[in-house]
Structure 1
Amino acid sequence: MNTLQARRPHISEQANQYRGRFAPSPSGLLHFGSLIAALASYLDAKHHHGKWLVRIEDIDPPRELKGASKAILTTLEAYGLHWDEQVLYQSKQSNSYREVLHQLQQQELSYFCQCTRAQIKAIGGIYQGHCRSLNLEEKNSAIRLKNTYGIHQFNDIFQGQTLCNKQLAQEDFIIHRKDGLFAYQLAVVVDDIEQQINHVVRGCDLLEPTARQLTFFKTLACPAPQYGHVPLAVTSEGYKLSKQNKAPAIDDKKPQPSLLAALNFLGQKPPTDLELASVEEIISWATKYWQRALVPKQSEIIID
């Protein structure tokens, strides 16, 4: 799909320069789990002399918390995580998403679907392509991608060779929702292509979606980023720290303790004398001594 590649903004740096990103949704404030993902992506980019971009995934207005987008950026700056280039807001990307949807339709790589979640759950939870050949109309329909690749394994930067659910990876997944909103899988891939992202570091909760995104990149004939997934912080009850679970926001006024805790969580073992250091000194040390090999090769870590 060369037209999508042609619309990328011109970037003067060498094509092979590391370009990473952190892409929070404004459904809540940043918590410790968010900090782990943001810090890992930032340090991996900066240790490799790359660019680190921030993207706000604000394409689901009903789930957004008023003022969260601004608060997220304020928190990142308080923690010494300063981004390169302009912040991209997905809410401003509608034209790009519609163009790709149109291209897919023209190439018969997508179709309208009216199946409900309840119907899919009743047959085991994996969509079986029921609407693929029905030629349904757009009204009251979602749009699904014709999944012709079904990629279900990849080599993860931190976790090594990773296998995903093969049936789920082969599913024709939704790229435009029935309620008129753009689906996550569409938005994230289109934006990664436009921003020329070639490294994605994030939490292990997104391992399964990575398989779909790899399939989508291949469908669009665009190179996929390298993916790296760091462990999730979970409570002793087994709940991951998340905005949906109302995880407490991290402290903007005194970032150092949370920064050091996140570094320890990521296996980086900061020296004790950093306990009295400034945010800038902690980030400088962590950037210099970042080691991928020290990140735990596991999907979850229980925190106190």
Structure 2
Amino acid sequence: MTTSSTTYHGRFAPTPSGPLHAGSLVAALGSFLDARAHNGRWALRIDDTDQARSRREAIETILDQLQAHGLVFDGDVVFQSERTAQYETALAQLESAGRVYRCNCTRARLRDWAERHGQAMGAIGPIYPGFCRERPAEAQERHAWRFRVGEHRRVVTDRRLGELAQCLATEVGDPVLRRADGPIAYHLANVVDDDEMGITQVVRGEDLADLTPLHAELAEALGLQVPGYLHLPLVNGPDGRKLSKTNHAAPLDNRRAVENLREAAGVLGLDTAMTDRETAAGLLERWTTEWRDRAPAARQPASPHRPAG
């Protein structure tokens, strides 16, 4: 079963800390093909909540790279930096529901705890020891806001990876949703934006799979729809590490658009054979048909998501 053009809405959401690279292109191509194969819309969102890491020139470069590779998005670009009011509203809703609390723990305090007692590492990083969970910081103190996760086992089904299951309390801990210095965390912005944009299918890199149960939990706490998920294979560099801007991955060369697309398609398991005169547009059309025939079908997302028993 596939969703129709009225129900499928996908997106590509890069962070503008640098230009797109080969790994970024795999995520962009996979999400583009999934949307087109389901006769759906494909939106572009710039995840620039962290202004310290965002670069205006990178945004222009990303737009040029997508255009050069034939990945045409629908509608206007959405910028997270312009949506602070929506995130603050969601945070206030969580506060009213008792799902967030003020935390005044400094990095020094958490580092000292880790040195004395050992730092428990979870699915997405160090697990917060819970100092402020039952005794939150006072409102007048400098504080971050943390999300109070549940004790149950959260299960989300991925179209490629199968069940993504976590006990958030013991495997993730209470994440920060707004830092003490102001910026909204990726988790909250991502969940709020996906719902408001009507995203029904999130197609992204496998490195984000461990965030998915937490995002489903957060969406449920806000009474929002949880989209379907498809996490794509990653591209590793010669050192075996995932290609990333942090690891200084080489930016895409727009002059090699066809070659870049073929390499990305190969990672996705698509047929990369081509004729001498085949263009990027022709390849995208052919791969859309192949994706429609071969990829796991997108199904209607749950609304709202409920924890597994």
Q: TM-score range by the shorter chain?
A: 0.7 to 0.9
Distance 2:153 2:42 in 1: 27
SS of the counterpart of 1:233? coil
Out of 195, 198, 201, the position equivalent to 1:196 is 198
Distance 1:67 1:243, change over 3 A: same
Distance 2:113 2:230 in 1: 31
Shift of 1:236: 3.4
Equivalent residue for 1:181? 183
Letter in 2 for 1:40: G
SS of the counterpart of 2:142? coil
Residues 1:254 and 2:256 aligned together: yes
Counting only pairs closer than 5 Å after superposition, residues 213-228 of structure 1 correspond to structure 2 as 213-228=215-230
Distance 2:50 2:252 in 1: 23
Shift of 1:212: 0.9
Given that residues 151 and 169 in structure 2 are in contact (C-alpha distance below 8 angstroms), is that contact kept between their aligned partners in structure 1? no
Equivalent residue for 1:130? 131
Residues 1:23 and 2:13 aligned together: yes
SS of the counterpart of 2:145? strand
- 1:64-108 CA distances to partner (integer Å, 9 max, x unpaired)? 234111110111111111111111000000010111111111222
Distance 1:172 1:119 in 2: 19
Letter in 2 for 1:99: T
Distance 1:55 1:210 in 2: 18
SS of the counterpart of 1:69? helix
Shift of 1:141: 1.1
Given that residues 40 and 201 in structure 1 are in contact (C-alpha distance below 8 angstroms), is that contact kept between their aligned partners in structure 2? yes
Task: Output the TM-score relative to the length of structure 2.
Answer: 0.85
Shift of 1:201: 0.4
Distance 1:161 1:135, change over 3 A: closer
Out of 51, 54, 75, the position equivalent to 1:61 is 51
Counting only pairs closer than 5 Å after superposition, residues 95-174 of structure 1 correspond to structure 2 as 95-115=85-105, 116=107, 117-119=110-112, 121=114, 122-124=118-120, 125-138=126-139, 139-148=141-150, 151-164=153-166, 167=169, 169=171, 171-174=173-176
Equivalent residue for 1:242? 244
Distance 2:78 2:160 in 1: 27
Which structure 1 segments of 5+ residues have no match?
A: 1-13, 294-304
Letter in 1 for 2:15: S
Equivalent residue for 1:280? 281
SS of the counterpart of 1:232? coil
Task: Output the TM-score relative to the length of structure 1.
Answer: 0.86
- Identity in percent: 35
Distance 1:184 1:150 in 2: 23
Shift of 1:135: 3.2
Out of 265, 290, 302, the position equivalent to 1:263 is 265
Which structure 2 segments of 5+ residues have no match?
A: 121-125, 297-309
Q: What is the number of residues matched between the two proteins? A: 280
Distance 2:8 2:112 in 1: 43
Equivalent residue for 2:31? 41
Given that residues 151 and 211 in structure 1 are in contact (C-alpha distance below 8 angstroms), is that contact kept between their aligned partners in structure 2? no
Given that residues 114 and 140 in structure 1 are in contact (C-alpha distance below 8 angstroms), is that contact kept between their aligned partners in structure 2? yes
Given that residues 151 and 212 in structure 1 are in contact (C-alpha distance below 8 angstroms), is that contact kept between their aligned partners in structure 2? no
Letter in 1 for 2:219: F
Distance 2:18 2:152 in 1: 33
Letter in 1 for 2:13: A
